[in-house]
Amino acid sequence: MVSGDRISFFENRNNQIVLDSTLFPCRDGVLCCENISLVSLAEEYGTPLFVTSRNSLLNQYRRFEDAFAGLQHFTCYSVKANFNVHVIRTLAEEGCGCDVNSGGELYRALQARVDPGKIIMAGVGKSQADIEYAIASGILLLKAESLSELRLIDMIAGRLGRKVSVGIRVNPNVTAETHPYITTGDSKEKFGIEEADLGNVFDVLRQLEHVELNCLDMHIGSQIFDAGFYHAALEMLLDVLATARSAGFDIRYFDIGGGFPVTYDPQKPATPIEHFAEKLIPQLETAGATIIFEPGRFLTANSTILLTRVLYRKHNHAGKEFVIVDAGMTDLIRPALYQSHHEILAVRQQDETIVADIVGPVCESGDFFARERTVDSVGEGDLLAVLSAGAYSAVMSSNYNGRLRPAEVMVDGETAKLIRRRDTYEQLIQNEME
Ligand code: LLP
């Protein structure tokens, strides 16, 4: 029965799979990443451990590029999804640019040897230091989200003796159906500039000497299943484009943000990227500009699993069954924060199942990966793989409860490379020492 269930994770449903069985195969009943068994990775690197398939990253990037091949475009990986330098570099080596949200992310992208001419910066609250660093690094575009920010960019560019390409993030007032914490394109949210204010923004921009408006931008949210939301927002952004051009601005870039979905739950397969391409390309072609995409999750989410070991099993008199593992909400906060579903598999295939809460060691009731979930029957010491842990997972980790953030490895065929060492106790206090 479990092996039947297991097949559904691997099954190719219109390419919408949680785990690609060619890259995460099950060999002799043991789950592997590419050609290395997760059991041996746990022995070598310890747990909890993020394990990334390099070829999964490459496949997703190529699939995205193939989908939009007919369109003049430029893909900027949104590094907030997974800012590991090696992940960024893997995608950059394929020609991908980067979307960064802060000086820290810019630093990571530059350390990953991304060409500054392929980096764009977003962010609703960029600091003076962020802006200075971005301009001094010579990035392609800074996207502003308020009039005050535009003035600040102009002032800093003037001081640095530069003329800077800017974009304006427009808030299209479209409410994409997704988790409320990850919808960004409606007027209740802090993001972007509303259409009603754009006339004023254009007037101000004409007077600013050190910035040039070359881009219009939107990002309406994350994990969006319905291309209709993009379509509606783009209608509005295309109107703004016409207005901006007739006001004399040379809009060369049209940035539609990220938000393309992935499958977390085999019962809820994501809309294929090819469907978005088919629906949106005709509309995007009318822009007569280079289209910028900022996928984050799409490129990384299902490239990585979080490998964790069962510490204890216990049950209580209320009939609850707990599987206590060595990873926690400090390593993967998505279930606690957004009630997100992550599939969980035993690394060694089991014949029996149990219904249990899979919980971590943190002293919070919210520290769970799954509740009342039918999972493989695992015992103390067994390994579990929490799937879809490549986006908004390690990047959102913390040292709460004095926990050491996990190590990360990247597998390429028969080779595993440590791409982030596990935190140490010394690191926990190093910034507090005199
Ligand atoms: N561009 C901008 C301006 C963004 O704010 C984001 C994500 C992206 C691109 C990439 O979106 P993606 O393609 O990954 O959906 N922590 C949440 C997601 C927060 C998304 C923030 N912005 C989660 O775990 O679901």
Tell whether the torsion through CA atoms of 213, 277, 178 and 23 is positive or negative. negative
Q: How far is the CA of 158 from the centre of ligand 1 (A)?
A: 32
Domain 68-295's class?
alpha beta
C-alpha triplet 163, 169, 175: angle, nearest 5°: 175
Q: Counting atoms of ligand 1 from 1, which one is nearest the CA of 337?
A: 24
CA distance 319 to 21: 35
Tell me the β-bridge partners of 346: 384
pLDDT of residue 184: 67
List residues near ligand 1 (CB under 6 A). Answer: 78, 80-81, 99, 122, 182, 219, 222, 257-260, 294-298, 334, 338, 391-392
Contact 248, 207 (CB under 8 A): no
Instruction: Report which of residues 19 and 335 the model is more confident about.
Output: 335
Q: Are strands 26-27 and 30-33 parallel, antiparallel or unpaired?
A: antiparallel
The whole-angstrom separation of Cα 39 and Cα 45 is 10
Q: Is 411 exposed, middle or buried (0-12, 13-18, 19+ CB in 10 A)?
A: buried
Question: What is the percent of the chain where pLDDT is above 90?
Answer: 88
Residue 294 alpha carbon, nearest atom of ligand 1? 9
Ligand 1 pocket test: pick from 222, 253, 386 the residue with the most ligand atoms within 8 Å of its Cβ: 222
Q: Does the pLDDT at position 3 exceed 70?
A: no
Nearest CA to ligand 1 atom 9: 258
Indicate if the pLDDT at residue 9 is higher than 90: no
In angstroms, rounded to a whole number, what is the distance separating the alpha carbons of residues 300 and 212? 33
Q: Is 53 helix (H, G, I), strand (E, B) or coil?
A: strand
- 17-26, 49-58, 110-119, 260-269: the lowest-pLDDT one: 17-26
Per residue in 103-139, pLDDT (tens digit) is 999 999 999 999 999 999 999 999 999 999 999 999 9
R_g of the chain, CA atoms, integer Å = 23
CA–CA dist 53, 408 (Å, integer): 11
pLDDT of residue 8: 55
| Segments of the chain assigned to CATH 3.20.20.10 | 68-295
Is 96 catalytic? The answer is no
Which residue's CA lies nearest to atom 24 of ligand 1? Answer: 392
26-53+301-429 is classed in which CATH architecture?
Beta Barrel (2.40)
pLDDT category at 202 given cuts 50, 70, 90 is: very high
Q: Which amino acid is at 192?
A: G
Query: Where in the sequence of the chain do the CATH 2.40.37.10 domains occur?
Result: 26-53+301-429
Instruction: Give the pLDDT of residue 22.
Output: 92
The full 3-state SS of 82-125, as one line of letters, equals: CCCHHHHHHHHCCCCEEEECCHHHHHHHHHCCCCHHHEEECCCC
Verdict on whether the full-model pTM lies above 0.75: yes
Answer yes or no: are the C-beta atoms of 53 and 273 closer than 8 Å.
no
Mean pLDDT of 9-19: 60
Q: Tens digits of per-residue pLDDT, 360-393?
A: 999 999 999 999 999 999 999 999 999 999 999 9
pLDDT tens digit sequence for 250-267: 999 999 999 999 999 998
Average pLDDT, integer, range 2-26: 67
The Å distance, Cα 296 to ligand 1 centre, comes to 6
What average pLDDT does this structure show over 233-255?
97
Q: What is the mean pLDDT of the chain?
A: 94
Give every CB contact of residue 367 below 8 A, 6+ residues apart in sequence: 328, 329, 336, 359, 360, 361
pLDDT tens column, 393-414: 999 999 999 999 999 999 999 9
For every residue of 165-222, DSSP letters joined together read EEEEEEE-----SS-GGGB-SSTTSS-SEEGGGHHHHHHHHHH-SSEEEEEEE---BS
Selection from 31, 36, 35 nearest residue 3 by Cα: 31
